[in-house]
Structures are given as C-alpha cells and as structure tokens.
Amino acid sequence: MGGGYNQDPYQQQPPGYGQQPQQPPQGYPPQQGYPPQQGYPPQQGYGQQPFGYAPPPPPAGTPGMVIWGFILAVFCCPLVGVILCAVGLPEAKRRDSGVGLAYAGIIIGIVWMVLGIVLQVLGGAARALR
C-alpha cells in the first residue's frame, strides 16, 4: 500500500481549516453572503379560478325561508314557522343576514306552541271541573 493513505481520513483536517477568513482587497465592499432569493409566486389553491376571476358573491339579503318562517311562527302556524326558521338558519349565517330573525322566529314559535299547550290543558281541566 502507498504512503499517506494509511491514515484515517476522518482524522485529517481540510486545507484552510481553523484559519481566519480572508478579507477582500481594499476598495471592494465586503460580501454579506448570498443575495436574497426571490420566492415562487403563490400557488392557486383548490377551487380558485384562474386569470383573476373572482368567485361570484353570495346572494345578498335575508333568506326567504327565514322571512316566511318568522311570519308563520308569529301569526298562524308556529310549528311550521319554527321548522322553516331552523332550516333557513344555516343559510342566514352563510349570508350573514337574517340570523337574528331566524332565532326570533324559532323562539316566538316555541313560545306560541308552549302557550297553546298550556291553554289546551287549562281548558280541558276547566271543562272537567264543571
């Protein structure tokens, strides 16, 4: 075997190891490392439309189901009104319009139903006592 190759390569230090870095000659600005890297343009996510087209805006205003549910809950059919308001509530939340009306329709409809049940029970008890 040849001379110099017997040594353990992991024990050797590369040339220039442990020395001070060289300074640039006078008149040159000191180097600060690599220039800043430019990032990649943002990727389009799933469902985004190309070429700057915006998605259509959500329909504006209170959902009709919530309006009809409130009217029915207040005036004639509280059970149907509560159902319509409960079904229309997610759409009202998505549109961010009519959420309070939906909750009011649900609450008023439940109050009317409980009041109707209480009056039925009281009416039946009054007839039974005659």
Residue 107 resides in a domain = yes
Residue 68 resides in a domain = yes
Closest of 49, 64, 127, 117 to residue 95, by C-alpha: 64
What domain range includes position 98?
Answer: 64-129
pLDDT given for residue 1 in this prediction:
52
Q: How many domains does the chain have?
A: 1
Residue 16 resides in a domain = no
> Comparing 54 with 111, which gets the higher pLDDT?
111
Residue 106 resides in a domain = yes
Residue 122 resides in a domain = yes
The answer to pTM > 0.75 is no
Q: Is 39 a residue whose pLDDT tops 90? A: no
Residue 37 resides in a domain = no
Closest of 58, 120, 130, 50 to residue 94, by C-alpha: 58
Residue 42 resides in a domain = no
